[in-house]
Amino acid sequence: MDKQFEILGKEIVFQGFFRVEKYHVKHTLFGGGWSAEISRELFMRGNCIAVLLYDPHADKVVLIEQFRTAAAILHPDRAWLVEIVGGAIEEGESAEEVAYRESIEEAGCEIQQLMVINEFYTTPGAFSEWITLFCGKVDSTQVGGIHGLDHEDEDILVRAVDFDQVYRMLENGEIESAIPIIAIQWLALNRQKLKQQWGG
């Protein structure tokens, strides 16, 4: 099947800290022919990274915790989310450069080795965000405390947690953000191989 689509129009409907664009499109149908015109708003988030910081020697994962507005509005009793390091790729930066930078800024961790786990859309029905998910080898012996940049209003609690406990947190529903769930499940499948590769 020859899959095609056409953009019939575009407008910016909101410009603030983030931008929202509205698109008018049509596309070919699996059964033949073309769809009617479809109008959809697109939240322009841009490309981002996330890093699962892992110490193979201590078998610990570096977790961060911070206030999240959407969580606070939707579930006020669960306004602080347990996550992994992440951030937006600015113009002129590579995904790898952002991974190293954000790991220092958000967790005080220096990455010793870095590998790509996968790349994916987070919410392709509404967001432009494309994530490069990494795993970074770190030394967790000095990990902890409060980190983040003041000018970005970041207030991030950092801790190194045994992998078994992290997985229990996942199973118990204590981790509610999709990206760390994906990363931790990947680590559960690849942990022994990673320890061998990184000398854990």
Range of the domain at 24: 5-44
Catalytic residues: 152
- Whether 160 and 144 have beta carbons less than 8 Å apart is answered as yes
The answer on 15 and 26 residing in a single domain is yes
Helix, strand and coil content of the chain, in percent to the nearest 5, comes to 30, 40, 30
Q: What is the pTM of this model?
A: 0.91
Degrees, nearest 5: CA angle 16-21-26 = 175
- DSSP letter assigned to residue 89: P
The answer on 28 and 51 residing in a single domain is no
H/E stretch holding 87 reads: strand 85-88
The answer on 57 and 38 residing in a single domain is no
The answer on 119 and 39 residing in a single domain is no
The answer on 119 and 68 residing in a single domain is yes
| CB count in 10 Å sphere of residue 193 | 9
The CATH number covering residue 55 comes to: 3.90.79.10
Q: How many structural domains is the chain composed of?
A: 2
The answer on 128 and 56 residing in a single domain is yes
H/E stretch holding 10 reads: strand 5-15
The answer on 98 and 56 residing in a single domain is yes
User: Strands of 19-27's sheet, edge to edge?
Assistant: 5-15, 19-27, 38-44
The answer on 162 and 92 residing in a single domain is yes
The answer on 76 and 95 residing in a single domain is yes
Q: Give residue 97's identity as a one-letter amino acid code.
A: E
Residue 196 β-bridge partners: none
The answer on 66 and 24 residing in a single domain is no
The answer on 159 and 117 residing in a single domain is yes
The answer on 82 and 70 residing in a single domain is yes
Print pLDDT tens along the chain (200 aa): 799 999 999 999 999 988 999 999 999 999 999 999 999 999 998 899 999 999 999 999 999 999 999 999 999 999 999 999 999 999 999 999 999 999 999 999 999 999 999 999 999 999 999 999 999 999 999 999 998 887 777 799 999 999 999 999 999 999 999 999 999 999 999 999 999 999 86
Distance CA 35, CA 97 (A): 41
